[in-house]
């Protein structure tokens, strides 16, 4: 697949505390949206009571499609351990994003966390803190992406993961792998 000359690669961490990041083909952040951002996020409410705003999710992607600008969308696959109580919640966001991307006809790549982390960071110690690694990686590779805003004191790991997914997608496009 050939990338659009002024295309975007969009990374999506589909959780209720996830995020979506659009990078241009040089890896610069064009736009971002945190699921739980207080003013314009795509998920309202806390925890399992949180509700995905499906229309907002679809409109955000549709707005990026103008002029064929989306070269690739990368969504992190979700998996549930058998003892994990929130399995339905975890799968809901993933399924919604897959449905929206599919309905809009956007090029899609699904990747599991272990693969994109290994491809970006190399081999890591078992049990290593992947959220901190993601934040650190994004700080060096995409320093213009804000991971904090207003009263937020901690970096938003959903946005950093989404940025990592977009960076992984850029590598796939460069290799001609998608």
Sheet containing strand 8-13, edge to edge, reads 29-34, 19-24, 8-13, 70-76, 108-111
pLDDT of residue 108: 97
Residue 20 dihedral angles phi and psi, to the nearest 5°: -140, 130
pLDDT of residue 90: 67
Q: Residue 154: give its domain's CATH number.
A: 3.30.420.10
Q: How many domains does the chain have?
A: 1
pLDDT of residue 1: 35
Structural domain boundaries, residue 35 = 8-173
Using alpha carbons, list the distances in angstroms from residue 170 to 3, 11, 86, 132, 164: 10, 10, 31, 22, 10
pLDDT < 70 positions in the chain = 1-6, 47-48, 80-90, 125-127, 177-178
Look up residue 66 and give its DSSP letter: G
pLDDT of residue 123: 76
CA distance 54 to 130: 28
Is 2 a member of any domain? no
CA distance 94 to 110: 10
CA distance 100 to 134: 26
pLDDT of residue 3: 41
Is 114 a member of any domain? yes
Is 61 a member of any domain? yes
Is 123 a member of any domain? yes
Using alpha carbons, list the distances in angstroms from residue 40 to 33, 49, 107: 8, 18, 25
Is 28 a member of any domain? yes
Burial of 10 (0-12, 13-18, 19+ CB in 10 A): buried
Is 3 a member of any domain? no
pLDDT of residue 37: 84
Closest CA to 106 of 60, 78, 55, 68: 68
pLDDT tens per residue, range 79-117: 766 555 555 666 788 899 999 999 999 999 999 999 999
CA distance 80 to 71: 29
Is 178 a member of any domain? no
Is 120 a member of any domain? yes
């Amino acid at each position: 697949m050939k990338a659009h000359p002024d295309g975007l690669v969009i990374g999506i961490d589909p959780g209720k505390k996830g995020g979506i990041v659009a990078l241009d083909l040089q890896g610069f952040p064009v736009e971002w949206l945190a699921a739980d951002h207080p003013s314009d996020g795509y998920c309202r409410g806390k925890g399992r009571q949180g509700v995905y705003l499906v229309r907002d999710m679809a409109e955000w992607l549709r707005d990026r499609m103008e002029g064929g600008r989306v070269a690739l969308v990368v969504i992190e696959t979700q998996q549930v351990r058998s003892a994990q109580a929130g399995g339905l919640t975890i799968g809901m966001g993933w399924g919604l994003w897959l449905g929206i991307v599919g309905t809009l006809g956007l090029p899609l790549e699904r990747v599991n966390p272990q693969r994109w982390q290994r491809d970006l960071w190399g081999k890591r110690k078992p049990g290593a803190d992947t959220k901190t690694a993601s934040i650190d990686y994004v700080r060096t590779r995409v320093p213009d992406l804000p991971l904090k805003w207003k009263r937020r004191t901690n970096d938003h790991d959903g946005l950093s993961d989404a940025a990592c997914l977009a960076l992984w997608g850029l590598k796939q496009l460069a290799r001609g792998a998608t």
